[in-house]
With several copies, the nearest count.
Chain A
């Protein structure tokens, strides 16, 4: 056991897998000699060699395309896209190829590729360093989509992703790389050491894909969220003194609807929250699935708190970001309805 922040946990996951499985390779822009712009691959090339931790040209399409070819030849590439905002030049290889090669070939070819990419805002990154495109990938049949909210899950889920024979897009909420964030930018930044999930085993372990996590039990309302907003939601509910059940979806596809359903049937009220823009965002699917599964138990309409339907504006980050204030307003709307 060691105290790790999310960067160290993610680094450890790759380190462990590079050690355990000689078919694992790590690739991406600046990931090798330098160790990554967020340091997630720090030291890996030194430990595992240039042939297994590879600096790639600035070509997201080329990174995904070659990763697919490597996977077809028996490797397990873990490819980093430096920011989720820059994943789009690789979109065709992800959607048209990576996601469907197993299917179209009747599983005679498979592509166990993991794509890691930092996402989300709250770091003054403006419109091209803050995006949360997870909903787009969750819509693509054949991709698994994951977003952890703490170091323990990050390492365990990333190892599961690397070991999965299905392609996985693994989003890393960069705002909480170094510490949990309750949505108040004026507070001194916290470290993971205080957080129970900041305790991470040094060795191999997994957190299974496809299982949501009830991070806080409650009976007045269910808050379904993931990534950074898990921490904001907990803080908001606490500040309001509402006994909320907070669920961290963790794996967006496949979705653990059973855990969500059981909770909403218990509380009768539900708020869905994420950082991504609202219209057609992942939250829409959560609402649609939950209203169908729990309709007869719902005492109020399901509300969504999400990024506004605009690009992520540099100057207005804290009016754009789903802060405690906005979560609280959403919780109130749900609690006071009906």
Chain B
């Protein structure tokens, strides 16, 4: 673990190793081992357990037709929670669509997130976005886009502005392995390097981009962490199922950025445990048991294993926690549905569809809104 202010050249090797803290016996080893205390570890475990319960529930709700779409982060939880713990509240986050854990950490609230997925009267997007495209301005969590990688140069711009304003807040963004092929990946790295923007650019390499293996994005010729080398940007290749490593590497990059050291690219090596989305059927393109064979294991098992080893936790406590979270999610879901579902009211008022296209509604939208409301009154077929 080099000092956070070393020259780029001294970081190059880190893009080809796999930075780990927890070994196969859940022992923390090596220079990257962070000092997280019991409470912090238990806090992160609680969160990870909650996210799984949330994903599990929402996935099933979609299957039952209660929501139109859903995306899990099963198996990748540590790549959000670890970094999230290492950032300050003032740091701005530009997520990909599998960072639900970060929204929970930043205070978005389970109920609000469910209400969004239901597009109901409490939806913070007022029905304008598909499920899982969260946002939370107060928590410095950006609005998620359906277009891959667009948030990457935006994060760099945000960081450039922080530097221009003389603040020491930094930006962090997440994308997937497949998204690295998009133009905005290059835009982000170029501008981050040229302006030495205080930004952390994360690539969650979960091995798959829908049906295509990361090799189709060039991940087998060269690690994604090394993509930054051509621009002089340090790259860290990290065990993404090791919460402590995810935390420690983000802390390193954050300190570097905050002190004027510029951008860092971090590749989290992990595995997409579930389907790409509720529209996907992975059995068509990958072996069913691939995850169980994945060498880096399951981030939850590794974290509980670590806590058990420390004597802070037991299998029973974990089962209790899981039951508790399951219940919490179920109760919250019930409450969320009371604010409306796709089929049962209360419903959002469709006239809201015309708001916020512009700050003030121009005449043509005013007229279209009136026309729409009038049509709503009419019966059809008459």
List residues of chain A with CB under 8 Å of any chain B CB: 25, 29-30, 33-35, 37, 51-52, 55-59, 61-62, 65-75, 85-86, 88-89, 92-93, 96-97, 101-110, 124-129, 141-142, 144, 164-166, 210, 239, 253-255, 257-258, 278-279, 308-311, 313-316, 319-320, 323-326, 328-329
Contact = CB atoms under 8 A, between A and B. Distances in A.
Given A62-B181, A69-B155, A311 B164 contact: no
Interface string B152-168: 11111111111011000
B190 A57 contact: yes
Given A59-B182, A310-B354, A314-B119, A74 B165 contact: yes
A309 B357 contact: yes
A247 B187 CA distance: 41
A29 B150 CA distance: 18
Interface string B55-76: 0000000000000110000000
Given A57-B194, A68-B157, A92 B211 contact: no
A109 B138 CA distance: 10
Contact of A124 (B69, B137, B358): B69
A105 B123 CA distance: 10
A279 B165 contact: no
Interface in B361-381: 362-365, 368, 372, 375-376, 378, 380-381
B268 interface: no
A292 to B, nearest CB: 11
Nearest to B281: A34
B135 A127 contact: no
A128 B147 contact: yes
B182 A58 contact: yes
A124 to B, nearest CB: 4
B348 interface: yes
A319 B218 contact: no
15 contacts: A33-B212, A37-B279, A56-B191, A66-B157, A68-B157, A70-B158, A88-B147, A102-B357, A109-B142, A142-B357, A142-B358, A253-B362, A313-B127, A314-B68, A314-B129
A74 B160 CA distance: 11
B137 A105 contact: yes
B126 interface: yes
Interface residues of B, number: 83
Nearest to B157: A69
B150 A166 contact: no
A273 B101 CA distance: 44
Interface string B346-358: 0110101111111
Contact of B210 (A37, A57, A253, A324): A37
A152 B68 CA distance: 31
A85 B350 contact: no
Contacts of B359: 102, 107, 110, 164-166
Contacts of A141: 357
Contact of A30 (B119, B211, B365, B376): B211
B99 interface: no
B146 A128 contact: yes
B303 interface: no
Contacts of B184: 61, 65, 89, 92-93
B237 to A, nearest CB: 20
B380 A328 contact: yes
A308 B372 contact: yes
B157 A319 contact: no
B211 A33 contact: yes
B179 interface: yes
B207 interface: no
A320 B179 CA distance: 31
Contacts of B147: 85-86, 88-89, 92, 96-97, 128
